[in-house]
Structure formats: structure tokens, C-alpha cells
Structure 1
């Protein structure tokens, strides 16, 4: 039976053992996605998955606003406070690594739904904690859910989007994560003094119900279904998507371009996973994007985590002023994210990362050589650096899934997420060690060197993916 005939018989069962059939079907599904106009269906899916990512970002930040009350209520020392702050990030590192392998095995939507459900249950359980030990255990598990959801959601959005203007579509979705962080800060700042930290975590448990919305409105990736030999399901899901798009647009879809299947690697079932990810062409890509994730977030969090302290201790600013200055820098970073989202399809992924990292390095170098002569100068140069660093980093959520084939796409994205977490953890530690010696100029020069390393890595080894289908870029 041909692939076209199988489309009309969605109940047909395939044994999934024929890699050539899977490759042909993947190419056909890719061609059918390319003919779908952007309409309400893609926007609806982006909103549902985006809501999940929004609330995962919301959950990530809540601990910072609960800590002052927790410290007094449980009489915590500095070591315990540090543990409560960092255990979630460690969980996110583990979750990023685990979720990719899981999503490549059982499906994207199941993992995303499971992560939001698990995060919601953890929030509910956190309200019942009466001591730091169970609280830390739950925060570790919740960190795994948050770290697992974000890269898999980016993978899924990439797989349902056509090549034309994929960058703009995906990155406008990715803006929901920093938006969730901002919303979490605003709500927590109002709610914790009014009702206490338990109510904050209790309300944050409600979005866990979004797992049911995912099951109801978001289909599994047809590309993933095809790659796993579930040919009938892949065709039926693709046909259902096409019918919905036709109903929304009120016009028949154009004929898909001729599919050009790329033969799967020999022994594909045995070459997937970490072995394939770390060898050959994909091994080099893993090394490149890993270095970009690490250097980008090392520099990013090295700046943002210490700015309030630098303003307060080095320049003797009041706490409210120090926090205001730091917020301005974060807002500048959000503007950089939006700018990249609107221009990345025209400029290209590779060029965006190269020039954004280089520009950030230049800003940090100028600041380092002037040794931060004034708080205003630090504000101006760090805000400009944040525009470029935030812009480069958000581009990686788009770029990474494009570099890997369906069978290891989620795993490749999760490795990027793990290197992200590693940079987030180590950046502030290194900056803190340098700043402890009073060498504020050295802090910014060090971060400039890290940003330069990221820019040079992209210039030397990164490949351009703009305007190319996923199957063409990563067979």
C-alpha cells in the first residue's frame, strides 16, 4: 500500500520496521507542513503550549519571593538558604537531560503534559511543608519538571511549523518564558505580603490542570509519529490538522511540493540516542550548540545575578534604586528578545548569534576597561549588553531543534538546556569569586572573554538553518 493510500485508511497498522518507509513518510509530512498557511490553528497550539511554558517560568521564580518568610519561619541559616535557592536549578539540569531521551521515546506532548502536571502537584505539596528538608526535595523534583518542559516545548513548536518565517513564529512563542518570570515577580511581590507564601504556591498549583488542555487540543507531532513507525497515526493526525486549517481559512490547501526523502542512516534504531548525538555530523553540532548555550547563559546570569549587589555595595545605592537599575537591564534584555524575534529570519540564526555575542562582548569590555566609573555607566553598558545577550540566547531555542533529526531532536535540545543550566549555575559563582576580591573591572572583562568565545565558536562551526526544512537540515 502506498503512502497516499494509507492517508485514506487511517486504521491501517504498520509494523514500523521499514526505515525507508519511515523516511519517505517523514519527507511527505514535512512537505505537507510546508504548504500550511499560518492561521488560527498554529496560533492556538502556540498559545496552549505557551501557557504551559509561561507558568513553568512563573514557578521557577517563586522561591525568591518565598525565602524571606521561610527564613524567619524555619529559622534558616545561610547554608540552608543557599540550598533552597540552588536545589531547583540542579533539578532543572537533571530534568533537561532526562526529558530529551524520554520525549524521543514516548512523544513530545506526553512529556510536556507530564511536566506541567508534576509541577502543579509539587506546588500543592509545597504548601504542606513544615520543614526545609521536604521542601528542598519537592523543589528538586519541580526543577526537573521545569527543566524538562522548556526544551521539549521548543522542539514540538519547531516540528509543527513550516520553514517560511519559522524563526519569527517560534521566537514570539519563546517570549512567554521571560513574560512568565516578570508576571511571577509582580504577583509574588503583591501576594506574599498579603496572604503568605503557602497561598502563593497553592495558586501556582492550578495551572497544572493545563495538562488536560494539552490532551484535548494539542496533537502529537506527526513527524515524531512517522519516525517511530506509527505511520497510520502520523497520516491521520496530519490529515486532521489539514482539515482544521482548511476550515479556518475557508480555502483548499495547495498541493504539497514533491517530497524528497533522505535515506535514514543504516541501522537507525541502533544509532539513535547519545551515541548518534555525540558522533559524526551531529556530534559537532552538539559541541557547538552546547558551547553557545553555556557561554551565553554564563555571561547573561553572571551579569544579572550580581548587579543588585554591585549597585548596592560598590556604588552605595539604596536597595530600591539598586533593584530598579537591575530591572531596567532585564527590560532591555526583553527588548533584545523581541528585536531578534522580528529579524532572525532575515538576518539568519548563525549571524544573529555571532554578532549579538560579539556586540555584548564589546559592551562588557568597554565597561571592564573603565572599571565601572559610575553606577550610570554600569547601567547603560550592562543594559546594552543585555539587549544582545538576551537576543542571542533566545535565538538558541529556535536554532537547536533545527540542527537534529526527529529521532534525537528532543535529546539534542535537552543537552542545550542542560548546558544552559550549567552556565546559569557557574556564571554567578565565578563572578562572585572575582567580585569578592574587589576587582569589578575584572568581572566585566571576564564576561567579555566568555562572550567572545561564544561568538568565535559560532563563526567557526555554526551552520545556517534559515529557510530550510527540518528534514533537509537534519535527515
Structure 2
């Protein structure tokens, strides 16, 4: 069994960059087995429930508007305050995860989000509800990009896209599950039971802390050399035990590049500054269009087309299920098609699906259902690809920070999309809503065409030294 430290790292114990490169080489020889699947399952279950939490407000809102006598302005505030929390959490979590570790941040965010769900069930007015949703948003916004970063760091380059995106499928699956549960539970028992159910994942904190190791790449990059080597050796031993065969021979580690300065200065300058600009625009446009549609669909079906609550929720659930299908298609094809082409063509196709709705001014509920569901296939596919693509673009020292800043742009889109749609829709201009969303999706496609780099099949250290 080959679990000793590579010579390059053993001969230069004070060189974090050399050790990080050596650990990257050791990950490249690990075959896929049940150990990686187990870690993906634990972290993925946590991400599933974070997604479940995120969109529950859209399905609770019709009842909350009636119970608390909310106008359009108050309803928009109730919907978007959690998204503001998502933005804050995304910004803070990256810096924190690059300093204290990926696993600690993931576990802390899970616990906080679950406690907030319990507190939401006790609310009797909009003000405390909004305050708690803001805090919960910081936890959800913090967990999701760091989980994606962690999974990328324990995965080899070969078929990394499929492995990571099959993990990331849990997020749209959580959105879909939230829609399905809300469709059944809200009319039957009310919105409080929905949030109470979402508090159960607090128990996952124990599994994350006990079963998920810290990223050896992060440990090496932060000078924790002995812990990095011990953790990597433990992972190799578990993989050998799971496969029942010796690991392949270790290839020489690539030369260690000069260690960068880290922090926002490095992230926003040079090659990484350009990448951050492109990925930020992609995150913003993808989620602006996505949440501009999904957050208002139940309300549009009810107020514009006079559908009853159950039917409005059912139609919205169909759109979420279509989005999940798009995510699965991208997960299975992204290594072959490439990240860049996936982003270009998915965003362009979403724009083409939304344009007919704009031109017909959303003339029927069935027409809205068909075209928004088709658009969701491509928008969900775009957004899940970004969770894979973003961590690949930055080195370990700023990977979580880059993912969290990208996530912050995602959250900015989540905030502004519903606000813009709500403002336009308040004037009754439903056609203009869909034309606007189509234009935003087209901007995303052109951004990917102009500036996205291909990362398929390349190691993390090769893409971002």
C-alpha cells in the first residue's frame, strides 16, 4: 500500500505549494469508489435540504399574503429578504472557509439554517419572519458554494464534471422536493408544517463532522503539513479497502508554482480577475432569469389566470421538475460537450424559449407552463454547470473565496430577478417580463462566448496554478 508522503513533499516540509501539488497528484490516481460516493452523499444531503429551504417562501407566499394581509410590496420584501441573506452569506463564507476550513463552515451553516426553520414556525407577523429569513439566508448562501468547492477538491480530473454535477443535482432536486412537499402539505396543513419539516437536517451536522475529512488540498495550502499527509493517507487507505486492490502507481507531481498572495487582491487581478468578471456575469444572468421566473410563477398563475392554489402550485412544480431534468442532462454530458459550450448553448436556448412568451404576452396559463418549463430545462442546466465550473477556475488558496464571490453574484441575481419581475408585473405587463428575462439570458450566452475558458479534463492545479 502506497500511502507515504511523496518525495517532493517529504524533502521540502516547509513548502506548502510543493505539498499541495503532490497531494493533487495523489488524488489523480484514486479510482472512483464508495468512499467518494459516501462523502458526496453526506454533503449532498445537506445541500439538498438547503435548496429545499431556499424556495419554500415562494410556495408559502400565497397563504402568507392572505393570513397577514400583504400587498405586492410587502410580498416582494418577504420573498427577497432571504435572498439578501444569501448574498451576505456567500460573501462571508468564502473568506471564512479559506481561513478555517471547508468542513467547519459546512457544518455550521447546516445547524444555523435548521434552527431558523424552527423559529419560522413560531412567527405570527411579517417582521420577525423577515429577520429570521435573513439569518437563514446567510446560512444557505454560505453552505452551497463551499460544499461545491469541497467536492471539487476531493475529485480527480477524469470525469470530474459528471461526478461533481451528480452531487450538484441534489440542489435542484431539493428545489423540486420543496415544490412537491409544498404542493401536498401547504393546502393540507399550512405553511408552518412545511418549515418545521425543513428543520430536520440539524442531525446532519453530526455526520458531517464525524465522517467527512477536511480537504487535504486546503490543509497543505495552509501549512498544516502533517495533518494534510495524515488525512490524504487515510483517504488512500479507505479507497484501497473499498476497491480491494492496490492503488495505481503515483505519477510525479508537477512543479509547484510560486505561491500567490491570496485574498481579494489576487482574486480581482490578472488572469483570475478576468475569470471572476466572466463567471460573475454568468452567475448573475443565470439566476436573474431563473428566479425571475420561478419565484413569481405561483402568484402569476393565481392572480393573472385565476387558478386555485393547488393548481398554481402543481403548474409551478412541473416547471421545477423540468429544470431537474435539464440538470441531469448536463451532468451526463458536460465532460463530453465541455463547460464553455454548455454555458453558451443553454443560455441561448433559454432566451429562445422565453421570447415567445414575451411576444404573446403570456396569453394562457398552459402556454406559460410549457414555455417556462422548457426555459427551466436550460436555465437549471446552466446554473448547475456553474457550480462545477467556478471552483475549477481558482487555486486552492482562493478557491472558496472565488466560489463565494461567484455565489454572491448568483444571489444578486436571485434578489434583483424577483424585484424586477415584481415591478414590471405590478403594471400588468406580463409580456415585458418574459422579454426582459430573455434578454438577460442572451447576455449570459454572449458572455460565455466571449470570455469563458474550457476546463474539461484538466487538473485543478493545471487550470489554476
Which residue is equivalent to 1:449?
Answer: 439
Find the aligned partners of 2:180 and 2:18 in 1 and give their Cα distance: 50
Contact kept? 1:6, 1:235, Cα under 8 Å: no
How far the C-alpha of 1:409 sits from its partner, in A, is 0.5
Match of 2:293 among 276, 297, 303: 303
Contact kept? 1:333, 1:389, Cα under 8 Å: yes
Deviations 1:239-298 (Å, cap 9, x if unpaired)? 100000000100000112211023224xx3xx2111111111100010000000001111
1:212 and 2:206 equivalent? yes
How far the C-alpha of 1:97 sits from its partner, in A, is 0.5
Q: So what's the TM-score if we normalise by structure 1?
A: 0.89
1:114 and 2:100 equivalent? no
Which residue is equivalent to 1:173?
Answer: 167
Paired residues for 1:115-194 under 5 Å: 115-129=109-123, 131-191=125-185
Which residue is equivalent to 1:255?
Answer: 249
Contact kept? 1:225, 1:231, Cα under 8 Å: yes
Which residue is equivalent to 1:460?
Answer: 450
Contact kept? 2:289, 2:441, Cα under 8 Å: yes
Find the aligned partners of 1:357 and 1:430 in 2 and give their Cα distance: 19
Cα 1:278–1:431 shift into 2, 3 Å? same
Match of 1:4 among 3, 6, 13: 6
Which residue is equivalent to 2:16?
Answer: 22
Contact kept? 1:147, 1:417, Cα under 8 Å: yes
Contact kept? 2:112, 2:136, Cα under 8 Å: yes
Contact kept? 2:55, 2:295, Cα under 8 Å: no
Cα 1:60–1:301 shift into 2, 3 Å? closer
How far the C-alpha of 1:67 sits from its partner, in A, is 5.1
CA RMSD in angstroms, aligned pairs only: 2.6
How far the C-alpha of 1:72 sits from its partner, in A, is 6.6
Contact kept? 2:83, 2:411, Cα under 8 Å: yes
Cα 1:384–1:183 shift into 2, 3 Å? closer
1:235 and 2:234 equivalent? no
Paired residues for 1:321-336 under 5 Å: 321-336=311-326
Find the aligned partners of 1:371 and 1:192 in 2 and give their Cα distance: 30
Contact kept? 1:116, 1:211, Cα under 8 Å: yes
Q: So what's the TM-score if we normalise by structure 2?
A: 0.91
Count of residues in correspondence between the two structures: 462
Which residue is equivalent to 2:384?
Answer: 394
Find the aligned partners of 2:434 and 2:78 in 1 and give their Cα distance: 28
1:410 and 2:400 equivalent? yes
Which residue is equivalent to 1:89?
Answer: 83
Instruction: Identify unmatched segments of 5+ residues in structure 1.
Output: none
Find the aligned partners of 1:454 and 1:79 in 2 and give their Cα distance: 29
Equivalent residue of 1:112, what SS?
A: helix
Deviations 1:356-380 (Å, cap 9, x if unpaired)? 1111122223443344454444333
How far the C-alpha of 1:46 sits from its partner, in A, is 0.3
Greater displacement, 315-324 / 454-463: 315-324
Contact kept? 2:58, 2:296, Cα under 8 Å: no
Instruction: Identify unmatched segments of 5+ residues in structure 2.
Output: none
Contact kept? 2:47, 2:144, Cα under 8 Å: yes
